[in-house]
Amino acid sequence: MKVLVTGANGFVGQAVLLRLNGMSNVTAIGSVRRATIFADAATPFAMVGELSAQTDWSAALAGVQAIVHTAAHGCHARGGRHDSLTELRRVNVAGTLNLARQAAAMGVRRFVFISSIKVNGEHTLPSQPYTADDVPAPIDSYGISKYETEQGLRQLAKETKLEVVIIRPVLVYGPGVEGNFRTMMRWLSLGIPLPLGAIQNKRSLVALDNLVDLIVTCLHHPAGANQIFLVSDGEDFSTTDLLRRTAAALGRSSRLIPVPVPVLRMAARLLGRDDLAQRLCDSLQVDISKTQAVFGWVPLVSADTALRRTAQDFLAKRAN
Q: How many CB atoms lie within 10 A of CB 140?
A: 16
| Known catalytic residue at 142 | yes
How far, in Å, are 83, 264, 268, 273, 280 from residue 276 at the CA level?
18, 10, 7, 5, 6
CA gap 276, 261 in Å, rounded:
12
Phi, psi angles (nearest 5°) of residue 114: -90, 100
**Three-state secondary-structure class, residue 173:** strand
Q: How many CB atoms lie within 10 A of CB 273?
A: 13
**Three-state secondary-structure class, residue 275:** helix
CA gap 120, 275 in Å, rounded:
17
Q: Is 192 exposed, middle or buried (0-12, 13-18, 19+ CB in 10 A)?
A: exposed
Q: Name the DSSP letter for residue 5.
A: E
Q: Which residues are catalytic?
A: 142
